[in-house]
Structure 1
Amino acid sequence: MKKRNKLLCGLVSVAATAVLSAADLNSPFESLPAETLAAFRFDNSPETLDQYVDNTRLGQLLFSEAKIAEYKSFIEDLIESEDEDGNFISRLGEVGLELDDLYQMVGSHFGAAVVNQEVPEHLPMPTFLVWAEMGEGVAERAFTAVLEGSIENEEIERTDLELPGGPGARIKNLTDGSSFLVSQLGNRFFFAIGNVMEPITSMDEAKVFENAELEALGQFMAAQQEGGGEFLTRFYADSGIGEVRPDYPTRLELLGDLGAVFDFIPPQNRQLFEALEFDAFTKLGVWSGFVDMQERSTIFVGSPTPRSGIATLLENEFFEFQPPEWVPSNVNAYTVAAFDMNKVYDFALDMAKKFMPPEQVEQQLAMANGQLQMTLQSDIPTLMSAFGKRIHVLEYPIEVVSMENPNGTSLDLPRASQAMVMDFTRPEILQAGMAMIAGMAQNPAAGIELVDEQGFAGVRVQDPAQGVVTIAHGMGKLVFAVGSEETSSRIFSALTNPPQGENALVNSSEFRSFIADANVKPGVLFSYSRGEEILKNLVPVFKSLGTSMRASAGEDAAGLMERAIALFPSEEELDGLLGITFSRMYHNDHGIILEGSNQYK
């Protein structure tokens, strides 16, 4: 049974029949109320994508008219393969939509927000608002499609509404009483649903929450026509946010009041959260945009000084970015971060005392120190102080390894290949530990192999998921290598015989050119990578995925997967698409900041 009663929202007197254009309206993001907890917006409109097509080789390759036609052809074939009777396309037609409308919905300005809507005599209700600003006529067709789709389902009740500036409807499931709102304002389509934070004991109470949900959507739509959204003004008044907010146009923007969001964590889950002092974080800001042939991004996490809890682990001393001479230029990525093992130890000790009586922690600590003294002739403070203040991570090109199947066949699989290096000034401690492991290595079932290579001694373990894991020490360094045996050999060789000239990252012309232009400031973490090499690493991954699908899912599924993979550029096409990808982390009195850039060519 269907209700078609026309209800007057009554929040503002705006004629529902008014013809509204985007130029007449405030943006949805500008119209969010002060009670907004978090919100994001993303611009995927054709006008924005054209910037990439007009200016970058990557955009020309991925978003050209010919490429988009390939995407659409694949999607249509995928629909046909899953819907042989044509019910999906037929159903679209019945509600007045075509596939092209769906494509236009994806290529739009869209966003979402959580508003802490007041409910009289009840707890506030987090209400999700979702919007999309589409091409001419698409929002109207999408709204009509929702209305038409509700007609034939007897378990759905639809109530038509008049909202400020446009039509709306409540779509209710008669089985469980749940409902949501949809609406349209010019070329904008809206969806809203409240999340009640307490039991509903009567139909009258349910009506109160429904009215609050309706009020949230109505006020949001009214603010787009008459002003009144206060979230952005309040959020950007924060001095910490204002200091790091980008001055370039952004395509992505995500803002959140972390303190308010964290209040919704259930009490039973708060102990660990509060022990780590996540509740000391204040604001979250994320921005990204295309500027000067780069994709730039900024992430801000509010954490005012003096910091405590987990935030202290990021509050390390600043240093200048300068790769050591042993880092080769042919790595895909190189990351270096300030790291203080003593700080990690103190944090872990503090955490333990929050969950256990302090005297019990001290007793267990004394026992651990006693065991270390017997086995390694050291104690925890000495061990912690032996570590250096930097951690270096190198990412090599993906390695393709052959794995034997139980049936005797083999399969080539891509495997990540990484090495982590830290200074370690007390090699005698590691030598004592390795001597203990040597006894275990004599047992073949343990799967441990001793390593003595190029001046490095340690152990090597075969791990089914990670491949070969090597832990070794030498030349005042502690090395962790994951991938294959060649991974550890690479890093041992680089440390023993540092690359010369252009073969060293610090001397390569590409690196020097980037550093000269980027004006890199000191920070606590830096990451440098060759963008197109990272992209090329995906090629063997995709090839392996197609092979796996053919072996496990059959020819049809494998064929579709291979068609999807074929949409991705070939290794030859990836040449010359991207430049350097770089990021820097630092902190100030207001919080922790991560800045990044992706060079396009």
Structure 2
Amino acid sequence: MKNRTKLLCGLASVASFATLSFAELNTPFQSLPEETIVAFRFDNSPEAIAKYVDSTKIGQLLLSDEKIAEYKAFVEKLIDSEDAEGNFARKLSEVGLEVDDLYQMVTSHIGGAVVDHEVPGHLSMPTLLVWAEMKDGVAEQAFNAILEGAAENEAFERIDLDLPGGPGARIRDNADGSSFLIAQIENRFIFGIGQVREPIPDMEAARVFEEAELEALGQFLMAQIEDGGEFLSSYYSDPGLSEARPDFETRLELLGDVSKLLEFVPTPGIRGIKALGVEEFTKFGVWSGLKDMEERSVIFLGAPAPRSGIAKLLENEFFEFQPPAWVPSSVNAYSAASFDMMKLYDFALETAKKFAPPEQVEQQVAMANGQLQMMLQADIPTLLSAFGNRMHVVEYPIEIETILGPDGTSLDIPRSSQAIVMDFSRPEILQAGMAMLGGMAQNPNSGFELIDEQGFSGVRVKNDVQGTVTIAHGLGKLVFAVGADITSSRIFSALTNLPEGEDALANSPELREYLADGGVKPGMMFSFSRGEQMLKNLAPVMENLSDTMRASSGEEAGELMDELLDLMPSEEELEGLLGIAFSRAYYNESGVVLEGVNQYK
């Protein structure tokens, strides 16, 4: 049943917009109100995609017109096979859309925001606004398709609206009364829906919230026509956010306000938030864009000094990036971070005293110290102070391991392997711990195995899910390794017999060239990887996924996965696509900043 009524928002008439051109509109991102909680914009337009196709090998390989056509054909086939009754396609058609319409929406300037809209006499209503700015005619086509689909479907009621700048409609589900708003303004298709935070006792109350929802959308549209909104100026008045904002053209921009988000945390969680000091965090921002054949990104989290609570944990010692001599060049990735065990312990103790009487916490700590003294001949501060102030993490290439499945048959699974290495100055403490575990290792059902290998002693546990977990010490280091069976042996060998020449990551020509050109500044955390190797490493995972799909979901699912694999680049095609991926984290007076670079070729 179609209900066509005309509702004037009172914000502007369509006629006032008639003489405006598209170029005179403010962007949706510029038009958000100051009450915006979080918002993002992403340029996925054909023009943006063309930059990658024209200037990068990976863009040419993955984003060409021919490749896009292959992707679309696969998605349509996937929908048909996974949805034998055509439910997905039918639901799209019910609102007048086809799969290709969705693709046109996605490949555009897209964005979204949550606005905390006031509702007189009630709790405010977070209202989701989503938009897509598309090529000529597509927005109108999508809008009209939804109007016609709703008009022809008895399950929906359509209410036409006159909105600032163009037409709109409310589409209501007759079954449960829920509804959403759509609008079109020039080449922009806009969706809006409010989230009511309190019970709705009757239809009169429901109308109040629907009017507020409509008002939020109307104000958003009017701001695009007139003077814009206060969202961006409000956020970028924050000095930390403004300073972190990159000077290159960004394709992605995400801004939010932690303090506003915390207002929606349920009452039971507020105590925990205050205890952790999360309320010290202010605004955050994320930016990303292509510059000089590099995908550059910046993440900022506001936490003004002086800091306390969890924000204080972010203030760790700065250091120069230089892989230790033991890190082999064969690793896929290497990370290093400042780490202060005593600071973490003090924070945990301080937090515990906010949830329990301080004397009770102190009593429990005393009991724990007493037990540690008996087992390890050391208390908690002594144990924690033995750790160094730097954590090193290496990630090895993914390997396929064979394990026994629940039914007793063998199963090949991809296994990711990592190792964490820290300095440890009190080996006698660990030796006492190993001696204590020795009794458990005597029991064949315990799963523990004591090891003494290449100058390292410790314990090893095998698990079908996590893989082999090893904790060991030697040469003044504490090693935690997880993944494939050979992970611990690899890291022991690297620490015992230092790699030479270009076998050491520190001597990698690729890394040395990047550090020389990039002028990397000191920071509290760094991460390095070879993008090309990370891509190649996914090949065995995808191949294994095909076998898994065939075994668990049947031959048809396996064939679909094979077709998906055929769309992916071969190992030969992956050669020469990506360079180094590098990131650095640091803090300043305003908060914490994470900068990242991914090189294209």
TM range (shorter): over 0.9
Deviation at 1:18, TM superposition (A): 3.1
Report the counterpart of residue 527 of structure 1 in structure 2: 527
Q: Secondary structure at the match of 2:445?
A: helix
- Is 1:178 aligned to 2:178, yes or no? yes
Report the counterpart of residue 587 of structure 1 in structure 2: 587
Q: Give the length in aligned residue pairs.
A: 601
> How is 1:37-436 mapped onto 2 (pairs within 5 angstroms)?
37-82=37-82, 97-407=97-407, 409-436=409-436
Deviation at 1:464, TM superposition (A): 2.1
d(CA) in 2 for partners of 1:292, 1:20: 37
TM-score (normalizing by structure 2): 0.97
Deviation at 1:552, TM superposition (A): 1.1
d(CA) in 2 for partners of 1:81, 1:337: 47
Change (3 A) 1:120 1:252: same
Q: Which residue identity does 1:38 align to in structure 2?
A: V
Deviation at 1:465, TM superposition (A): 1.2
> How is 1:541-560 mapped onto 2 (pairs within 5 angstroms)?
541-560=541-560
Q: Secondary structure at the match of 2:41?
A: strand
Q: Which residue identity does 2:274 align to in structure 1?
A: E
Q: Which residue identity does 1:258 align to in structure 2?
A: V
Deviation at 1:205, TM superposition (A): 2.4
d(CA) in 1 for partners of 2:486, 2:507: 24
Deviation at 1:257, TM superposition (A): 1.1
Deviation at 1:242, TM superposition (A): 1.1
d(CA) in 1 for partners of 2:559, 2:458: 45
Deviation at 1:20, TM superposition (A): 6.1
Q: Secondary structure at the match of 2:486?
A: helix
Q: Which residue identity does 2:261 align to in structure 1?
A: V
Deviations 1:20-44 (A, max 9, x none): 6531311100111111111001111
Deviations 1:64-111 (A, max 9, x none): 122112112212322333456778768867876554333211211111
Unaligned 5+ residue runs, structure 2?
Answer: none
d(CA) in 1 for partners of 2:40, 2:253: 5
Change (3 A) 1:435 1:155: same
Deviation at 1:547, TM superposition (A): 0.3
d(CA) in 2 for partners of 1:228, 1:50: 29
Change (3 A) 1:222 1:443: same
Query: In terms of mean alpha carbon deviation, does 377-386 or 203-212 score higher?
Result: 203-212
Q: Secondary structure at the match of 1:445?
A: coil
Contact 1:20 1:186 in 2 (8 A): no
Contact 1:21 1:187 in 2 (8 A): no
Deviation at 1:209, TM superposition (A): 1.6
Report the counterpart of residue 5 of structure 1 in structure 2: 5
Query: In terms of mean alpha carbon deviation, does 372-381 or 147-156 score higher?
Result: 147-156
d(CA) in 1 for partners of 2:217, 2:406: 58
When the two chains are superposed, the root-mean-square deviation of aligned CA atoms in Å is 1.8
d(CA) in 2 for partners of 1:506, 1:467: 29
Q: Secondary structure at the match of 1:160?
A: strand
d(CA) in 2 for partners of 1:17, 1:241: 35
Deviations 1:334-356 (A, max 9, x none): 00000000011111111111111
Query: In terms of mean alpha carbon deviation, does 175-184 or 437-446 score higher?
Result: 175-184
Contact 1:16 1:167 in 2 (8 A): no
Deviations 1:472-514 (A, max 9, x none): 0000000001112311011101111111111111111111001
Deviations 1:134-184 (A, max 9, x none): 121111111112212222443422211000010011112333332211110
d(CA) in 2 for partners of 1:100, 1:549: 27
Q: Percent identity?
A: 67
Report the counterpart of residue 481 of structure 1 in structure 2: 481
Deviation at 1:17, TM superposition (A): 8.0
Deviations 1:260-300 (A, max 9, x none): 11111111222222211111110010000011100000000
d(CA) in 1 for partners of 2:247, 2:184: 32
Query: In terms of mean alpha carbon deviation, does 288-297 or 66-75 score higher?
Result: 66-75
Deviation at 1:371, TM superposition (A): 1.0
Report the counterpart of residue 516 of structure 1 in structure 2: 516
d(CA) in 2 for partners of 1:584, 1:486: 30
Deviation at 1:114, TM superposition (A): 0.8
Q: Secondary structure at the match of 2:177?
A: coil
Contact 2:296 2:597 in 1 (8 A): yes
Contact 1:19 1:186 in 2 (8 A): no
Report the counterpart of residue 446 of structure 1 in structure 2: 446
d(CA) in 1 for partners of 2:312, 2:94: 58
TM-score (normalizing by structure 1): 0.97
Query: In terms of mean alpha carbon deviation, does 402-411 or 370-379 score higher?
Result: 402-411
d(CA) in 2 for partners of 1:409, 1:568: 30
Unaligned 5+ residue runs, structure 1?
Answer: none
d(CA) in 2 for partners of 1:266, 1:99: 38
